Structure 1
């Protein structure tokens, strides 16, 4: 099983905090290969080129927001995973299925970020 950790670039540092997040994902999916974007991709261009191929190899996707926000890259990863039917989980204190959340964009104040809201999708 391969599990991808979708998280904003803002969570990549400090290193010890990022490693703690990966450890939480490993506990949720014991024995799974955890795919870390920080180690997988060298930059945005690399991600754009390689993400479509990587997506087809995944069994699950875990979203770890920075507080209640993710970047548009994570939003794309979520959208792509939904499109191909990959199970998605969101971590906000505990891991929950994506259906417990919705995303909101505020293009006027934060055009490159999406807010994750708790509650059923409308």
Structure 2
């Protein structure tokens, strides 16, 4: 009789352990699924950021505005006129102080990334 009681308790313990393991397995699968979803969302976000950067690098108005801002730091370099109620600023050709197109691209990306040069 004692053996049957003990054996029944062992079965209950084993069943409880199996149920607990099944819960842990289910939680692990759910965690894996959420990790995959987050990795996919991160990859999509990184693709969108890269696309924004590419569009910004070829945006002529943005490039011209930054070029004008760079020249504005050089005293007397920017000329202008006032035509029909609108001020027009005219920077010299090229970039000031030996800056290159790569420097201009870096300035654009730094502005987009909150002054971080490594997006």
Specify the TM-score bucket, using the shorter chain as the normaliser.
under 0.3
Bigger Rg, structure 1 or 2: 2
State the TM-score, normalized to the length of structure 2: 0.26
Q: Larger strand proportion, structure 1 or 2?
A: 1
State the TM-score, normalized to the length of structure 1: 0.26
Q: Larger helix proportion, structure 1 or 2?
A: 2
The one of the two structures with greater contact order (alpha-carbon pairs below 8 A, sep at least 6) is 1
